[in-house]
Structure 1
């Protein structure tokens, strides 16, 4: 089946151009010109990925993403924006976004990022990962700790999965950036520290600690020593 992509941008010519390029790549695409329209298209179109402009006429793309995450809608989001400050990138990604493309951009770059994000968020052939009393069911998109369901954002989910796949292996912050976000922050690893803290509150909150900091290096998932 074709992957369905929703393109949200109030510049209709740009939205149509992006949608046409994605259709040429074999995707099924529709467009929306506002945050309200985007939320409506999510409900009736059921996209597999959203290409989402940050600046929209009613409310921001970041707010669209936050509303979807509050509704537990785990659709990958690639933000489009004319702003390229690191703080803006971190805001977009910490709101639940999966990647960030700055205008002007090449269609080839955007299409490549669409393929990467879809490939990265596609469930693996092995639907279940287990470490200690922590488990991920990739078919149901469920995370459980001690049998209790844990609600995660898509980025938190990918971070946890990467740590679990590499359990007992120390991962640098740059490795985590490359594999979880697949985006070059120019050496800024603050977003990794932020998301690890989010994940710890949800996964390690009342249980034995599984996510450990290796000072000046990165993080590792292992049993307490």
Structure 2
């Protein structure tokens, strides 16, 4: 199963090495060198955060608090070269799920990441629900009762994004970044067109339009 991981590490060389190791596991990795860049991505949550405490701009503790305010369920691994005992205790108190003191072997981070992902999400298929539809991320299928509904890749990605952010207002920019990626240079008209097609295929999906901003899917 391909998981989405955010890696926040200000050492560019270490960031590159860790990103390479994590990607070899088949995971989708988004690396960040500053806390401010990572801060912008909080509203587009991953499956797991790997977070360095010592960052050049934003304290890692503060960033963890913002992550937890957005979601209590996303697992976080703290990494740090500072006082191991103090950082471990403070990190756990603020809601981190694991702690790895520097220096460490990249392979150790991979093992801890895999173990945490399996503990949180399980090793089998990952299921999401957004009433009345059920979503299997592993097989990338959507069902209404026992009937499979055919979606394009981007339609499926959009539905997953909604399922992970039920009842939350999502801007068109957030949808663009999640579905098309941050390097997309088109207009947000693509979002509206994708929403239109998703509504047609999933007529029972409760999608609210927030005029001048974006959309919200209610789980009703």
Q: How does 1:18-167 map to 2 (within 5 A)?
A: 18-44=18-44, 46-122=45-121
Helix, strand or coil for the counterpart of 1:42? Answer: coil
How many residues align? The count is 128
- Whether the 8 Å contact between 1:76 and 1:98 is mirrored in structure 2 is yes
Could you list the runs of 4 or more consecutive aligned residues of structure 1 that deviate by over 3 angstroms after TM superposition?
A: none
> Hey, what does 2:17 align to over in structure 1?
17
Q: Call closer, same or farther: CA 1:42–1:72 in 2, change over 3 Å.
A: closer
- Whether the 8 Å contact between 1:123 and 1:139 is mirrored in structure 2 is no
Unmatched segments (≥5 aa) in structure 1:
126-137, 141-225
Query: How far apart are the structure 2 equivalents of 1:77 and 1:4?
Result: 12
Report how far residue 13 of structure 1 moved.
Answer: 1.1
Query: How far apart are the structure 2 equivalents of 1:81 and 1:24?
Result: 23
Provide TM-score, normalisation by structure 2.
0.53
Q: Call closer, same or farther: CA 1:116–1:123 in 2, change over 3 Å.
A: closer
Question: Which stretch shifts more, 92-101 or 114-123?
Answer: 114-123
The reply on whether 1:2 has 2:2 as its aligned counterpart is yes
- Whether the 8 Å contact between 1:78 and 1:101 is mirrored in structure 2 is yes
Report how far residue 71 of structure 1 moved.
Answer: 2.4
Query: How far apart are the structure 2 equivalents of 1:6 and 1:70?
Result: 17
Helix, strand or coil for the counterpart of 1:5? Answer: strand
Report how far residue 123 of structure 1 moved.
Answer: 5.8
- Whether the 8 Å contact between 2:3 and 2:28 is mirrored in structure 1 is yes
Partner deviation per Cα, 1:130-166 (whole Å, 9 max, x = no partner): xxxxxxxx968xxxxxxxxxxxxxxxxxxxxxxxxxx
Question: Which stretch shifts more, 9-18 or 79-88?
Answer: 79-88
Partner deviation per Cα, 1:13-41 (whole Å, 9 max, x = no partner): 11111011111111111111111111213
Report how far residue 88 of structure 1 moved.
Answer: 1.7
Query: How far apart are the structure 2 equivalents of 1:20 and 1:124?
Result: 22
Partner deviation per Cα, 1:57-96 (whole Å, 9 max, x = no partner): 1121121111111223532111110024322211011111
Provide TM-score, normalisation by structure 1.
0.52
Helix, strand or coil for the counterpart of 1:55? Answer: coil
Unmatched segments (≥5 aa) in structure 2:
130-220
- Whether the 8 Å contact between 1:32 and 1:41 is mirrored in structure 2 is no
